[in-house]
Amino acid sequence: MQYEAVIGLEIHAQLLTDTKIFCGCSTRFGSDPNTQICPVCTGMPGVLPVMNRKAVEYVVRTGLALHCDISSYSRFARKNYFYPDLPKGYQISQFELPLCEHGFVDITVEGNSKRVALTRIHLEEDAGKNIHEGGGHDSAVDLNRAGVPLMEIVTEPDIRSAAEAAAFMKKLRAIVRYIGVCDGNMEQGSLRCDANVSIRPSGQEAYGVKTEIKNMNSFRYVEKALDYEIKRQIRSLQDGERIIQETRLWNTEKGVTESMRSKEEAHDYRYFPDPDLMPIEFEKSLIDRIQSELVELPDEKHRRFVDEHGISDEDAGLLVAERETAEWFEVAVKAGGDPKNICNWIKGDFAKLLNDNNTQINESLVTPQMLVAMLSLVEKGTISGRIAKTVFEEMYRTGKTADEVVEEKGLVQISDASGIETIIDEILNNSTGEVARFREGETKLMGFFVGQVMKATKGKANPKIVNELLRKKLN
Ligand code: ADP
Ligand code: ZN
Ligand code: MG
């Protein structure tokens, strides 16, 4: 029997506000434990939460970017449960009246586009962190993260494969980073994804029993964990077993999902409206302002790069994946460079250098204008395309302009035909064997002769002239 996977995601994104959701404590990551806390976020009796306006605006901004309906009236609720990292005994969240509903994200997997519908986006506070270290019997609690604003994004069960889930996460990460509401760092946990997975016989409409997978802190793990879980569920059904509704953890080392708790043990959260917080009511003008401030999003940029700059669909996808790359590209195009040429450098030599040095494009010493100036040296024939690679590497390393590098290293292309001819004559005289073989039809030796000339000129000979002269002399 053929099975189909059904997946819905619940994503938590930490909002990039400077301060927490209900107090003025800093949200900075990586500080010493319990250095960013106060009576409000540690749940002391009698304190009152004060809503962070920015956090609300960030969720609305996200909702607009993801084509949601923004609720003109929404409310906060208490979600009651006990855990040491939650001193208040309840998390302030949203329940029946979230800030945003509906909406969608378009994804492309192997050339096929599809739309994943969103159920809702709501605002809530993060909990602290329990730390179990040293193998002893003690646990410590760090409340720096308690009260950091989180946005929860819930999708409809529209996703049909692990690859689609990973594509969704990549797209969502790009969008929240473009609009500046979340840094998208999955390793540090500022973007977290829980996946609900079930399978059903192909063609069947009713959904199967789902499991919820947690602890996937990279795109790669999202894909691996879901692939594993889908196979596991199919195997179970084929073995005549039943899927039980449970929460499972992805075990990175073993590459498997493992049962954490079954739904029977799940909590009844006894949600009720938080009496300390006023409901939020929006004026349309505020939503209009946030809409008007929205930056161009990856999909729109993608289309524009294809239409305006003649970039291929695939390359445009690479360019828009990070906002910084897309912007760098556009500055270079505005500076007068050929778009395809610029794109080839960005995805080729430049990408390799950035990757090797673990650097972001906007932190590079090479500015878009510097790349364009170098490309124009190639166009004018001052340097060869081959030497350009050496020049670029030096520019990358030192921050010098192409002109400076070419001047200092004497890299100007040799285009003077008589100079090249002298060198060619010498090489042909010293390679009588190869010349004879070439004339007997072993034409692939052309590469050998070109190589010799380039070696003798340290790569500076104009390749077009070299080829012309060699062909003339050998034939
Ligand atoms: P719960 O009541 O368990 O919280 P919800 O209906 O609220 O479940 O859905 C939570 C998430 O699970 C959503 O992302 C939704 O799309 C997804 N989901 C719901 N049912 C299924 C299913 N049968 N298989 C896979 N995902 C599902
Ligand atoms: Zn605080
Ligand atoms: Mg639910």
Instruction: Enumerate the domain spans of the chain.
Output: 3-287, 295-404, 417-474
Please determine, for residue 267, whether its predicted confidence score (pLDDT) is greater than 70.
Answer: no
Cα gap 212→283, rounded to integer Å: 38
How many Å lie between the centroid of ligand 2 and the Cα of residue 194? Answer: 27
Ligand nearest to the CA of 155: 1
**H-helix or E-strand containing 140?**
strand 140-142
Average pLDDT, integer, range 99-117: 94
Phi-psi group of 186: left, alpha or beta (phi > 0 → left; psi -120 to 50 → alpha; rest → beta) = alpha
Ligand 1 lining (C-beta closer than 6 Å):
6-10, 154-157, 196-198, 207-208, 210
Query: Residue written as tokens 């889908």?
Result: 230
Q: Which residue has the higher pLDDT, 266 or 469?
A: 469
Please determine, for residue 387, whether its predicted confidence score (pLDDT) is greater than 60.
Answer: yes
For residue range 296-308, list pLDDT tens digits in order: 999 999 999 999 9
Q: For the chain, give the number of residues.
A: 475
Confidence of residue 117 (pLDDT cuts 50, 70, 90): very high
Cα gap 171→11, rounded to integer Å: 13
Average pLDDT, integer, range 395-400: 95
For ligand 1, atom 17, the nearest C-alpha belongs to 8
Ligand nearest to the CA of 147: 2
∠378-379-383 over CA atoms, to 5°? 25
Q: Which residues contact 400 (CB under 8 A, 6 or more apart)?
A: 394, 408
With the most atoms of ligand 1 within 8 angstroms of its CB, the residue from 193, 196, 245, 264 to mutate is: 196
Question: Where are the alpha helices (H) located in 310-384, listed in sequence order?
Answer: 313-320, 323-334, 339-347, 349-356, 368-380
DSSP secondary-structure letter at 245?
-
Confidence of residue 265 (pLDDT cuts 50, 70, 90): low
How many Å lie between the centroid of ligand 2 and the Cα of residue 17? Answer: 13
Q: Which residue has the higher pLDDT, 262 or 326?
A: 326
Lowest-confidence segment of 36-45, 263-272, 278-287 by average pLDDT: 263-272
SS3 22: coil
Neighbours of ion ligand 2 (CB under 5 A): 23, 25, 38, 40-41
Third-level CATH fold of 417-474: Arc Repressor Mutant, subunit A (1.10.10)
Average pLDDT, integer, range 357-370: 94
Confidence at residue 157, expressed as pLDDT on a 0 to 100 scale:
97
**H-helix or E-strand containing 229?**
helix 219-238
Cα gap 196→9, rounded to integer Å: 6
SS3 257: strand
Provide the Cα torsion 252, 254, 257, 261; round to 10°.
Answer: -90
Confidence of residue 263 (pLDDT cuts 50, 70, 90): low
What ligand 1 atom has the least distance to the C-alpha of 10?
14
Confidence at residue 192, expressed as pLDDT on a 0 to 100 scale:
95
**H-helix or E-strand containing 394?**
helix 385-398
